[in-house]
């Protein structure tokens, strides 16, 4: 049964970004209906709007969100109406070899990246009855959603919804990049290039594990000031500094170099920042056809590594509740990651905030 129409922020390849009224069908078997309470605006939404990641169909954007379960379909056991949940944008199939081996972030069976529910359908239709598709299987820039059970991770009721939203993407990705992908140990050194929502969480993760020194690099003095509050020991202006030369001269190279922009030209500079045996961690996501080149002799001779990083190598059901507990215990300064809170209808302005690197993370509330 389809519900009444509600506004959603849709990117249509034919007409661009606009608000469009959509209706939602009810939850089918294995699906969960959710009342969205907060959604963060991540650069991965902007990649769709800019065409870095082309879409052939209209998408309800938004993939970093939290809300309350309002209904569950047949067979759902892990959540019930009234539960507070964080949405995980890489809903694992729980059956493929990677899932069974505990590597849900590498799931080969998920339909999230095809922007559909697991059965290949969408829960959204517009006023003319045309299908509108859920970005990353969620489509959180609206007020109500239907998602697969594996995308709805139960969290404590006392977790604020804005913080829960951030746990859905930037926090789990950024902290996961440090603790899961790179497995940084106390006293190891790291540089983080790009300190937007995701890069600031990398900095936060580095403080959590006791990395030192931690060098934050960005073009925005405002973001670098936040990085310092989150644990950066040094900050560098990326436009004015040759970061690789700085790392070699001041530190003899760093153990880890995280990129959280998605810029091929920046990624190419990472290996030269590293000491022998160090690792470059590609957290930022470039355009789908982007390539880069590296000095291959240096990589082989110096035993340097390049690590990919999808969703911070995280298992949503394990890592999201863990991060929620750390926040509630006062160990993660996530309140300072929330910049502006805007009503959903101001989504276009929220994208402008992101483009101009003003503030930190913007939260949209339906």
Ligand X SMILES: NC(=O)c1ccc[n+]([C@@H]2O[C@H](COP(=O)([O-])OP(=O)(O)OC[C@H]3O[C@@H](n4cnc5c(N)ncnc54)[C@H](O)[C@@H]3O)[C@@H](O)[C@H]2O)c1
DSSP H or E stretch at residue 215: strand 214-218
| Minimum separation from the CB atom of position 103 to Zn ion (A) | 9
Q: Which two tokens stand for residue 100?
A: 């069974």
Q: At what angle do helices 197-209 and 221-229 cross, to 10 degrees?
A: 20
Helix (H, G, I), strand (E, B) or coil at 190: strand
Residue 358: what are its φ and ψ, rounded to 5°?
-95, 145
Shortest distance (Å) from residue 122 CB to ligand X: 22
Our CB check for ligand X shows the closer of 148 and 284 to be: 284
Does 194 interact with ligand X (rule: CB under 6 A)? Answer: yes
Q: Does 196 bind ligand X (CB under 6 A)?
A: yes
Beta bridge pairs of residue 25: 2
Interaction partner, residue 171 (Zn ion, ligand X, none; CB < 5-8 Å by kind)? none
User: Which residues 74-133 are close enough to bind Zn ion by CB under 5 A?
Assistant: 92-93, 96, 99, 107, 109
Tell me whether residue 27 or residue 60 sits nearer to ligand X (CB atom).
Answer: 60
Distances 362 to 123, 164, 304, 336, 346 between C-alpha atoms, Å:
26, 13, 36, 11, 11
Is there binding between residue 197 and ligand X (CB under 6 A)?
Answer: yes
Segment interacting with Zn ion, rule: CB under 5 A, options 8-16, 44-52, 205-213, 266-274: 44-52
Residues 43-102 that bind ligand X (CB under 6 A): 43-44, 47
Distance of CA 25 to the CA centre of its chain: 27
The listed partner (Zn ion, ligand X, none) that binds 357, CB under 5 to 8 Å by sort, is ligand X
The CA distance from 340 to 220, in Å, is: 17
Segments in the chain forming alpha helices (H)? 43-50, 97-100, 161-168, 170-176, 197-209, 221-229, 243-251, 264-267, 296-301, 316-328, 347-355
Considering the rule CB under 6 A, would residue 309 count as an interface residue with ligand X?
yes
**From the CA atom positions of the chain, what is the Rg in Å?**
20
Copy the structure tokens of residue 111: 């339909």
| Contact criterion met (CB below 8 Å) for 188 and 213 | no
Does 364 participate in binding ligand X (rule CB under 6 A)? Answer: no
| The binder of ligand X chosen from 78, 121, 302, 357 (CB under 6 A) | 357
| b (16+ CB within 10 A) / e for 161-193 | bbbbbbbbbbbbbbbbbbbbbbebeeebbbbbb
The label of the residue with tokens 């939404």 reads 45
Q: CB count, 10 Å around CB of 99?
A: 20
Which residue carries 């930190």 as its tokens?
Answer: 360
Q: Is 313 in the site for ligand X (CB under 6 A)?
A: no
110/235 with CB nearer Zn ion = 110
Q: Which stretch binds ligand X (CB under 6 A): 69-77, 129-137, 183-191, 281-289?
A: 281-289
169 binds Zn ion per the rule CB under 5 A: yes
Q: Rule CB under 6 A: choose which of 36, 192, 198, 280 binds ligand X.
A: 198
Q: Does 8 bind ligand X (CB under 6 A)?
A: no
In the complex with Zn ion, the residue whose CB is nearer, 153 or 273, is: 153
Q: Which of 142, 263, 313, 362 binds ligand X (CB under 6 A)?
A: 263
Is the Cβ of residue 27 or residue 337 nearer to ligand X in the bound state? 337
Q: Which stretch binds ligand X (CB under 6 A): 4-12, 23-31, 132-140, 279-287?
A: 279-287
> Which chain residues interact with ligand X by CB under 6 A?
42-44, 47, 169, 173, 193-199, 217-220, 223, 238, 260-263, 266, 283-285, 309-311, 354, 357
> Which chain residues interact with Zn ion by CB under 5 A?
42, 44, 92-93, 96, 99, 107, 109, 169
């Amino acid at each position: 049964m389809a519900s009444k129409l509600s506004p959603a922020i849709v990117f249509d390849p034919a007409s661009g970004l606009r608000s469009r009224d959509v209706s939602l069908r009810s939850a089918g078997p294995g699906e969960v209906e959710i009342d969205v309470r907060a959604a963060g605006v991540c650069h991965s939404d902007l990649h769709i709007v800019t065409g870095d990641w082309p879409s052939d169909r209209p998408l309800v954007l938004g993939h970093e969100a939290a809300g309350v379960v309002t209904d569950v379909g047949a067979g759902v056991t892990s959540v019930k109406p009234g539960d507070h949940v964080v949405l995980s944008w890489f809903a694992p199939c729980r059956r493929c070899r990677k899932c069974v081996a505990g590597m849900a972030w590498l799931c080969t069976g998920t339909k999230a990246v095809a922007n559909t529910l697991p059965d290949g359908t969408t829960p959204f239709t517009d006023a003319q009855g045309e299908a509108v598709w859920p970005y990353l299987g969620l489509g959180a820039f609206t007020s109500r959603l239907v998602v697969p059970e594996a995308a709805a991770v139960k969290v404590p009721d006392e977790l604020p919804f804005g913080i829960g939203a951030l746990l859905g993407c930037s926090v789990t990705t950024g902290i996961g990049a440090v603790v899961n992908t790179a497995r940084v140990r106390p006293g190891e050194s790291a540089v983080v290039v790009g300190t937007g929502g995701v890069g600031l969480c990398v900095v936060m993760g580095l403080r959590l594990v006791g990395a030192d020194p931690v060098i934050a690099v960005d073009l925005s003095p405002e973001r670098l000031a936040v990085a310092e509050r989150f644990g950066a020991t040094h900050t560098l202006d990326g436009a004015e500094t040759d970061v690789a030369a700085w790392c070699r001269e001041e530190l003899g190279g760093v153990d880890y170099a995280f990129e959280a922009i998605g810029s091929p030209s920046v990624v190419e500079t990472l290996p030269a920042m590293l000491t022998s045996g160090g690792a470059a961690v590609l957290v930022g996501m470039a355009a789908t056809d982007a390539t880069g080149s590296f000095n291959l002799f240096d990589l082989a001779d110096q035993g340097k590594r390049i690590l990919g990083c999808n969703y911070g190598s995280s298992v949503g059901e394990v890592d999201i509740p863990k991060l929620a507990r750390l926040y509630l215990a006062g160990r993660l300064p996530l309140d300072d990651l929330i910049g502006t809170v805007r009503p959903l209808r101001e989504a276009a302005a929220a994208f402008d905030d992101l483009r101009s690197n003003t503030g930190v993370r913007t939260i949209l509330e339906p």
